[in-house]
């Protein structure tokens, strides 16, 4: 196991550093202190060929100009908050409207757009990057001074553990995730339409035309949203289900996980033989199939396009602050918020 770091670029006069963790079995993870962005994740295919399986760039400028949250930590609140405001104890908090009339992914300068302090921790059988950041009271409209810690730990079992922790000096909201776009084909050789996904989820959140949850949970039974026995992503592109059409011919939906930490999410690319197993302690996962990816830029020489990557954003349910039936994203004063997700790669 080893870690090395190098200067990646500069942002507003601040140096951006890239940290690369390498294990003994061909897995490498590169993360930036800018947005805790996972910019590269290299794993072998069934023939031992080591290739990158995430969407990312090699310059800060490209992230600033083009990135739809590639690889980034998302917060204070992942997903949309309808009307870009919420009420806590009779006080209304107004947030940035960075998605039409709504608030998305923590606002204009969310966790994905700040530079985090970084510490490297080396153990016998793992290496970790520990990112910390103090989000000040009123930042992006949210209450409370919040101390955040994000840890990425690479093991020799080809597993990356993502752990989030937050403590606020006032009651506030927290729902943190990572917005990595996966593409298991390797170096973006193909899109993700032939990836097969297995998801232990029998319900998903119905969205309205502005991608805001209506509060209704729909059954997956007999639909293109039923991944319980495995299903190719392209099914949701070709389906006529109103919710697939509404998501731009694909998926952009929160799924309620029926189980946690029981191999609840498995993504397979048959041609490369790569498998990703995701386990989490979070109640939900947003499956986003890159239906809004722009076509006006390249990603390491590959023209960006719809379906070039998919996100498995393990998290609380979007707009939970406005949906009493969803698990709460309210964090009390001095309460320790924690969330953990593991990505295990196999061939
Ligand atoms: C679009 O609706 C989608 C979001 O789910 C995604 O996170 C974002 O693009 C990058 O707004």
Quick check: 280 and 261 in contact, CB under 8 A? yes
How many Å apart are CA 145 and CA 138, to the nearest integer? 8
Nearest-CA residue for ligand 1 atom 5 is: 252
DSSP 8-state symbol, 106: T
How many Å apart are CA 187 and CA 171, to the nearest integer? 43
Ligand 1 atom with the shortest distance to the CA of 74: 7
* Substitution site in 35, 292, 312 for ligand 1 pocket (most atoms within 8 Å of beta carbon): 292
Quick check: 199 and 264 in contact, CB under 8 A? yes
pTM above 0.95, yes or no: yes
Nearest-CA residue for ligand 1 atom 2 is: 252
- DSSP strands (E only) in 102-145: 103-104, 117-122, 126-135
Q: 29: closest CA among 127, 140, 136?
A: 127
Q: How many CB atoms are closer than 10 A to CB 222?
A: 7
Full pLDDT tens readout for the chain, 347 residues = 999 999 999 999 999 999 999 999 999 999 999 999 999 999 999 999 999 999 999 999 999 999 999 999 999 999 999 999 999 999 999 999 999 999 999 999 999 999 999 999 999 999 999 999 999 999 999 999 999 999 999 999 999 999 999 999 999 999 999 999 999 999 999 999 999 999 999 999 999 999 999 999 999 999 999 999 999 999 999 999 999 999 999 999 999 999 999 999 999 999 999 999 999 999 999 999 999 999 999 999 999 999 999 999 999 999 999 999 999 999 999 999 999 999 999 99
Three-state DSSP class for 300? Answer: coil
Q: What DSSP line would sit under 224-282, residue for residue?
A: TT--TT-EETHHHHH---HHHHHTTSS-EEEEE-S-SSSS-EEEEETTTTEEEEEEESS
How many Å apart are CA 165 and CA 80, to the nearest integer? 21
Residue 125 falls in the annotated catalytic set: no
Q: How many CB atoms are closer than 10 A to CB 258?
A: 13
Residue 313 falls in the annotated catalytic set: yes
DSSP 8-state symbol, 142: -
Domains of the chain as residue ranges with CATH = 2-346 (2.70.98.10)
Three-state DSSP class for 334? Answer: coil
How many Å apart are CA 184 and CA 188, to the nearest integer? 8
- Please state the separation of Cα 300 from the chain's center in Å: 20
Ligand 1, CB within 6 Å, residue ranges: 68-69, 211, 252, 288, 292
How many Å apart are CA 237 and CA 196, to the nearest integer? 13
**How does 164-186 read in b/e, with b if 16+ C-beta sit within 10 Å?**
bbbbbebbbbbbbbbbbbbbbbb
End-to-end distance of the chain based on CA atoms, in angstroms? 20
| Residue positions counted in the chain | 347
How many Å apart are CA 343 and CA 172, to the nearest integer? 29
């Amino acid at each position: 196991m080893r870690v090395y770091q190098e200067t990646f670029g500069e942002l507003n006069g601040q140096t951006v550093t890239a940290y690369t963790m390498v294990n003994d079995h061909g897995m490498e993870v590169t993360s930036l202190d800018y947005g805790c962005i996972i910019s590269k994740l290299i794993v072998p295919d069934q023939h031992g060929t080591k290739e990158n399986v995430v969407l990312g760039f090699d310059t800060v400028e490209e992230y600033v100009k083009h990135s739809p949250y590639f690889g980034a930590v998302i917060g204070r609140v992942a997903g949309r908050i309808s009307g870009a405001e919420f009420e806590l104890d009779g006080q209304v908090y107004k947030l940035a409207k960075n998605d039409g009339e709504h608030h998305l992914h923590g606002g204009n300068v969310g966790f994905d757009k700040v530079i985090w302090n970084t510490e490297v921790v080396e153990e016998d059988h793992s290496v970790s990057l520990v990112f910390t950041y103090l989000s000040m009271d009123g930042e992006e409209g949210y209450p409370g001074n919040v101390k955040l810690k994000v840890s990425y730990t690479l093991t020799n079992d080809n597993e990356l553990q993502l752990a989030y922790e937050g403590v606020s000096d006032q009651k506030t909201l927290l729902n943190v995730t990572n917005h990595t776009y996966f593409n298991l084909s390797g170096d973006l050789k193909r899109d993700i339409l032939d990836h097969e996904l297995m998801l232990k989820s029998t319900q998903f959140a119905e969205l309205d035309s502005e991608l805001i949850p209506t509060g209704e949970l729909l059954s997956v039974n007999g639909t293109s949203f039923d991944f319980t026995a495995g299903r190719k992503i392209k099914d949701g592109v070709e389906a006529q289900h109103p919710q697939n059409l509404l998501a731009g011919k694909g998926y952009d939906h929160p799924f309620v996980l029926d189980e946690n930490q029981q191999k609840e999410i498995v993504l397979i690319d048959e041609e490369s033989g790569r498998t990703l197993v995701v386990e989490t302690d979070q109640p939900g996962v947003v499956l986003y199939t890159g239906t809004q990816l722009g076509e006006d830029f390249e990603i390491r020489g590959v023209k960006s396009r719809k379906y070039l990557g998919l996100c498995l954003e393990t998290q609380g349910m979007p707009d939970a602050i406005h949906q009493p039936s969803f698990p709460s994203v309210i964090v009390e004063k001095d309460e320790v918020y924690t969330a953990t997700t593991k990505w295990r790669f196999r061939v």
